[in-house]
Structure 1
Amino acid sequence: MRLRALISRLVLPAAVSALAVGGLALPAQAEPELGGFAYIGILSPETVTVINGQSKTVKFDLYNLSEVAAEDVVLNFGSTSEPISEDLGFVAPAGCTGNACVIGDFKPGQRRSVKFTVKPAASGAADPASSITLTTSIGGQLSDETSITVVRTDKGGADIEVDDIADLKLSPGGSAEVPVTVRNSGNKDVTALGLVVAAPVGVTPALNYSNCEKDTDLGGFVCVFNDTLAAGGIFTLPDNMPLRIKVPAGAAGPYDYPVLVAAIGLTEKYVFDFAKRTAGASGRELTLEPVASVSAREPEPADDLNEDDNFTQFSVTVPKTAADSAAIGGVFEGEAGDDRSVKVGLHNLGPSAIIPPGMAWIQYVHVKMPTGVLLTRADDRCLPGTSLIDIDETVTDLSEVTDLVCLVLESVPDNGRHLFTLSAEIQDAEHEAGAVTVDGGVQDSRSGNDTAALTVKTTGGTGGGLPITGAPAGLVAGGGAALLVAGALAYRMARRRRIVTVAE
Structure 2
Amino acid sequence: MTMLLRARYALAGAVSLLVVGSLALPARAAEGPGEFAYVGILGPETVTVINGQTKTVKVDLYNVGDGAVEDVRLTFGSAAQPISADLGFTAPAGCAANVCDLGDLKPGQRRSVKFTVKPTAADPVYAIALATSIGEKPSDQTSITVVGTDKGGVDLEVDDIADLKLRPGGSAEVPVAIRNSGDKAVPALGLVVVAPLGVKPALNYSNCEQDAEIGGFVCVFNDTMAAGGVFTLPENTPLRVTVPKDTAGPFDYPVLVAAVGLTDKYVFDFAKRTGGASGRELRLESVASLSAGEPEAVEDLNGDDNLAEFAVSVPRTAADSAAVGAVFRGAVGGTATVEVGAHNLGPSATIPLSLASVQYAHVRLPTGVALTKVDERCLPGTSLDDIDESAGDLSEVTDLVCIVVESVPDNGRYLFALTAEILDVTEHRAGSVQLSGSVQDSRKGNDKAALTVESTAGGEGGGLPITGAPAGLIAGGGAALLTVGLIAFRLARRRRIVTVAG
TM class by smaller structure: 0.7 to 0.9
Q: Are positions 1:69 and 2:68 aligned together?
A: yes
Q: CA deviation at 1:375?
A: 1.2
Q: CA deviation at 1:245?
A: 0.6
Look up the match of 1:345: 341
Look up the match of 1:105: 104
Q: Which residues of 2 match residues 251-400 of structure 1 at below 5 A? A: 251-400=247-396
Q: Are positions 1:454 and 2:454 aligned together?
A: no
Q: Distance in 2 between matches of 1:14 and 1:117?
A: 27
Compare 378-387 and 176-185 and name the one that shifted more.
378-387
Q: CA deviation at 1:284?
A: 1.1
Q: Distance in 2 between matches of 1:416 and 1:396?
A: 33
CA distance change for structure 1 residues 197 and 175 in 2, over 3 Å: closer, same or farther?
Answer: same
SS for the counterpart of 1:441 is coil
Report sequence identity in percent.
66
Contact 2:160/2:309 (<8 A) preserved: yes
One-letter amino acid matched to 2:345? L
SS for the counterpart of 2:265 is helix
SS for the counterpart of 1:370 is coil
Contact 1:204/1:219 (<8 A) preserved: no
Contact 1:328/1:347 (<8 A) preserved: yes
Q: CA deviation at 1:422?
A: 1.3
1:430-468: CA deviations, max 9, x gaps?
A: 21111111125111111111110010012459xxxxxxx
SS for the counterpart of 1:49 is strand
Please, which runs of 5 or more residues in structure 2 have no aligned partner? 459-478, 487-502
The alignment's C-alpha RMSD in Å is 2.5
Q: Distance in 1 between matches of 2:103 and 2:35?
A: 19
Look up the match of 1:95: 94
One-letter amino acid matched to 1:435? S
Q: CA deviation at 1:380?
A: 2.3
One-letter amino acid matched to 1:338? G
One-letter amino acid matched to 1:384? P
Aligned positions, number: 462
CA distance change for structure 1 residues 222 and 140 in 2, over 3 Å: closer, same or farther?
Answer: same
CA distance change for structure 1 residues 283 and 494 in 2, over 3 Å: closer, same or farther?
Answer: closer
CA distance change for structure 1 residues 218 and 363 in 2, over 3 Å: closer, same or farther?
Answer: farther
One-letter amino acid matched to 1:449? N
Compare 349-358 and 80-89 and name the one that shifted more.
80-89
Q: CA deviation at 1:14?
A: 6.2
SS for the counterpart of 1:377 is strand
One-letter amino acid matched to 1:57? T
Q: Are positions 1:188 and 2:192 aligned together?
A: no
Look up the match of 1:3: 4
Please report the TM-score for the alignment, with normalisation by the length of structure 1.
Answer: 0.86
Give the number of the structure with larger relative contact order, counting CA–CA contacts within 8 Å between residues 6 or more apart.
2
Contact 1:368/1:404 (<8 A) preserved: yes
Q: Distance in 2 between matches of 1:43 and 1:226?
A: 32
Q: Distance in 2 between matches of 1:263 and 1:494?
A: 28
Please report the TM-score for the alignment, with normalisation by the length of structure 2.
Answer: 0.86
One-letter amino acid matched to 2:161? I
Q: Distance in 1 between matches of 2:18 and 2:166?
A: 23
One-letter amino acid matched to 1:441? S
Q: CA deviation at 1:494?
A: 6.5
SS for the counterpart of 2:444 is coil
One-letter amino acid matched to 1:75? L
Q: Distance in 1 between matches of 2:395 and 2:31?
A: 29
One-letter amino acid matched to 2:62? Y
Q: Distance in 1 between matches of 2:399 and 2:277?
A: 55
Look up the match of 1:212: 208
Q: CA deviation at 1:93?
A: 1.2
Contact 1:19/1:490 (<8 A) preserved: no
CA distance change for structure 1 residues 353 and 217 in 2, over 3 Å: closer, same or farther?
Answer: farther
1:330-367: CA deviations, max 9, x gaps?
A: 00112212211111111001111111002233322221
SS for the counterpart of 1:309 is helix
One-letter amino acid matched to 1:294? L
Contact 2:31/2:385 (<8 A) preserved: no
Contact 1:350/1:415 (<8 A) preserved: yes
Q: CA deviation at 1:393?
A: 4.0
SS for the counterpart of 2:272 is helix
1:151-197: CA deviations, max 9, x gaps?
A: 11111111111000000000111110000111111111111111110
Q: CA deviation at 1:304?
A: 0.8
Contact 2:325/2:451 (<8 A) preserved: yes
SS for the counterpart of 2:439 is helix
Q: Distance in 1 between matches of 2:122 and 2:414?
A: 63
